[in-house]
């Protein structure tokens, strides 16, 4: 079988990170099976769909490297096709016009509720052999309803949830077209999944109630239902459903906060799927390992600390040249001119082991590019103790003479330390402070190489003038 999956987002409202997990799994399943992955934009809710949301989805997927084989296909561009199928269903007796007005429907519902019955359409306009139909009222545009099978049940083997069986008595005749002829959501999904030859529908748990209805329509249209896999919900770190209101972030927000796409992809992969105890893996490994059997059944919980930890892992492992490229926009944002001064790749290589985000690398890089703040006499006295000043002055001279390498500067330190009977921190801390006005900086010998001898000597001499 040639596997075809799809991601079918509704571009309404805010697209958070959890939403993109619903893109990742069908993508991975298609890639694992050398099948096709289709992006379908379900934009028929004209009031709530926005171009902004479409952009967030498409950019987010591109950033994560979720390449698509077909699409984006917009449902709004397929309206004629849906109308054509509705017409065919009317002709074939699979659907029928229903003239029940809103008021009548409400009245029916109230009665059913009063009788403690489940509110449902009573089939008044459903044609049956030998049934006398009510007279068609004038001036009412009918809705079109699907003739749901009566009796029996819909059964499917959900790849995540196992066997599910829903009695047809639970399902009333679904409206497939509104009075103005526009098709409804569940109907469009079925037509699309059929037309696009989708073999596996991998989607959020919130759609599980739609599935029996969709299967019935699909069978009526002569199609074979695909395999369904309903993914457990993603909860936020407080255990609530993820939403913008309770602080969920979009992929774009994570990009702006200095996360690497590889880290996000790895993180999302583990939100509801596992492979043994593997936590850090490449995209290729993920695709190789991905199968529907290893999808979790219980809700996945968002864990921001874990995401930050993963980001740190990816930053540490990253190739400095690529990491520097990725960090540049953040550095520019902070007013750093990466083209003048120390070599930016070297600066990034020096800072990456301690950084959790690209912003942290850029912040660290400021020390090397922006002029150090002028230190007050109090600051100097507090951080460069008088007892250390003679050694400090000797060190300036030793650095001036030293070869411009890590080893060269290391030897300069060693010589001055032994001469003055001092331990490394006693001298390294004041030197860091004199260079950067902070003691938080990487290994001092490497710092001197990257900063450059001239700039280092300028900064060091200033505090002992
Ligand atoms: N458009 C639906 C949503 O965004 C998904 C429908 C589906 O995957 O079948 O929730």
For CA atoms 289, 290, 293, 295, the dihedral sign is positive
For residue 9 and ligand 1, the question of a CB distance below 6 A is answered with: yes
Ligand 1 mutation target, pool 56, 196, 202, 207, most atoms within 8 A of CB? 207
Q: Is 8 in the pocket of ligand 1 (CB under 6 A)?
A: yes
Cα 19 to ligand 1 centre (Å)? 10
CA 347 to ligand 1 center in whole angstroms: 45
Q: Is the CB of 10 under 6 A from ligand 1?
A: yes
Distance 55 CA to ligand 1 centre (A): 17
Interval between CA 214 and ligand 1 midpoint (Å): 12
What integer pLDDT is reported at residue 406 of this predicted model? 95
Q: What does the alpha-carbon distance between residue 122 and residue 288 come to, in Å, rounded to a whole number?
A: 50
pLDDT per residue, tens digit, the chain (465 aa), is 999 999 999 999 888 888 999 999 999 999 999 999 999 999 999 899 999 999 999 999 999 999 999 999 999 999 999 999 999 999 999 999 999 988 899 999 999 999 999 888 999 999 999 999 999 999 889 999 999 999 999 999 999 999 999 999 999 999 999 999 999 999 999 999 999 999 999 999 999 999 999 999 999 999 999 999 999 999 988 888 887 778 788 899 999 999 999 999 999 999 999 999 999 999 999 999 999 999 999 999 999 999 999 999 999 999 999 999 999 999 999 999 999 989 999 999 999 999 999 999 999 999 999 988 889 999 999 999 999 999 999 999 999 999 999 999 999 999 999 999 999 999 999 999 999 998 888 889 999 999 999 999 999 999 887
Which ligand 1 atom sits closest to the C-alpha of 7? 8
Q: What is the pLDDT of residue 52?
A: 92
For the CA of 203, the nearest atom of ligand 1: 8
Q: Is 173 in the pocket of ligand 1 (CB under 6 A)?
A: no
Furthest CA-CA distance within the chain: 112
Q: What was the pLDDT predicted at 373? A: 80
Q: What is the pLDDT of residue 160?
A: 97
The answer to whether the CB of 13 is under 6 A from ligand 1 is: no
pLDDT for 430: 95
Ligand 1 centre and the CA of 6: distance in Å? 10
Give 146 Cα–ligand 1 centroid separation in angstroms: 20
- Of the candidates 96, 88, 18, 11, the one whose C-alpha atom is nearest the C-alpha of residue 56 is 11
Query: What local confidence, expressed as pLDDT, does residue 272 receive?
Result: 92
Q: Give yes or no for residue 189 CB within 6 A of ligand 1.
A: yes
447/109 Cα distance (integer angstroms):
75
Q: How far is the CA of 48 from the centre of ligand 1 (A)?
A: 14
Q: Is any atom of ligand 1 closer than 6 Å to the C-beta of 33?
A: no
Q: Is the CB of 203 within 6 Å of ligand 1?
A: yes
Rounded to the nearest whole angstrom, what is the distance from the C-alpha of residue 144 to the centroid of ligand 1?
A: 22
Closest CA to 259 of 313, 338, 298: 313
Among 6, 23, 42, 186, name the best residue to mutate to test ligand 1's pocket (greatest count of ligand atoms within 8 A of Cβ).
42
Tell the residue nearest (CA) to atom 6 of ligand 1: 8
Which atom number of ligand 1 is nearest to the Cα of residue 22? 8
How far does residue 168's CA lie from ligand 1's centre (Å)? 23
The pLDDT value recorded for residue 244 is 77
192 Cβ closer than 6 Å to some ligand 1 atom: no
Q: If you measure from the C-alpha of residue 455 to the centroid of ligand 1, how many angstroms do you get, rounded to a whole number?
A: 58
Give the pLDDT score at 439. Answer: 85
């Amino acid at each position: 079988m040639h596997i075809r999956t799809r991601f079918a987002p509704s571009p309404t409202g805010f697209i958070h990170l959890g939403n993109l997990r619903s893109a990742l799994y069908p993508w991975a399943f298609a890639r694992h099976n050398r099948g096709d992955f289709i992006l379908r934009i379900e934009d028929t809710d004209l009031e709530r769909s926005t171009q902004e949301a479409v952009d967030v989805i498409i950019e987010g997927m591109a950033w994560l490297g979720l390449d698509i084989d077909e699409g984006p296909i917009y449902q709004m561009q397929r309206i004629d096709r849906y109308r054509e199928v509705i017409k065919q269903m009317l002709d074939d007796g699979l659907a029928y016009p229903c003239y029940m007005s809103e008021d009548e429907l409400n009245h029916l519902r109230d009665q059913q509720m009063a009788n403690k019955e489940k509110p449902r359409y009573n089939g008044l306009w459903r044609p049956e052999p030998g049934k006398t139909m009510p007279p068609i009222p004038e001036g009412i545009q009918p809705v079109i309803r699907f003739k749901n099978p009566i009796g029996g049940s819909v059964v499917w083997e959900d790849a995540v949830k196992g066997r599910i069986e829903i009695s047809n008595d639970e399902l009333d005749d679904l409206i497939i077209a509104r009075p103005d002829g526009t098709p409804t959501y569940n109907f469009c999904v079925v037509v699309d999944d059929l037309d696009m030859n989708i073999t596996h529908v991998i989607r959020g748990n919130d759609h599980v109630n739609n599935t029996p209805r969709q299967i019935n329509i699909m069978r009526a249209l002569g199609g074979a239902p695909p395999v369904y896999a309903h993914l457990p919900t993603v909860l936020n770190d407080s255990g609530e459903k993820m939403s913008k209101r309770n602080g969920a972030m979009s992929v774009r927000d994570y990009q702006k906060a200095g996360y690497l796409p590889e880290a996000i992809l790895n993180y999302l992969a583990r939100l509801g799927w596992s492979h043994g105890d593997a936590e850090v893996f490449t995209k290729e490994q993920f695709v190789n390992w991905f199968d529907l059997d290893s999808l979790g059944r219980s809700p996945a919980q968002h864990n921001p600390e874990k995401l930050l930890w993963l980001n740190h892992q990816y930053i540490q492992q990253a190739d400095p040249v690529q990491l520097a490229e990725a960090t540049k926009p953040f550095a520019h944002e902070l007013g750093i001119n990466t083209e003048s001064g120390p070599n930016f790749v070297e600066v990034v290589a020096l800072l990456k082991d301690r950084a959790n985000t690209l912003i942290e690398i850029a912040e660290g890089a400021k020390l090397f590019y922006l002029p150090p703040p002028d230190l007050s006499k109090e600051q100097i006295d507090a951080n460069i103790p008088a007892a250390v000043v003679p050694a400090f002055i000797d060190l300036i001279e030793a650095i001036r003479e030293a070869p411009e390498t890590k080893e060269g500067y290391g030897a300069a330190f060693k010589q001055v330390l032994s001469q003055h009977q001092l331990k490394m921190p006693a001298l390294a801390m004041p030197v860091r402070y004199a260079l950067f006005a902070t003691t938080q900086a990487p290994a001092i010998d490497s710092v001197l190489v990257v900063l450059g001898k001239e700039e280092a000597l300028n900064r060091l001499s200033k505090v002992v003038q």
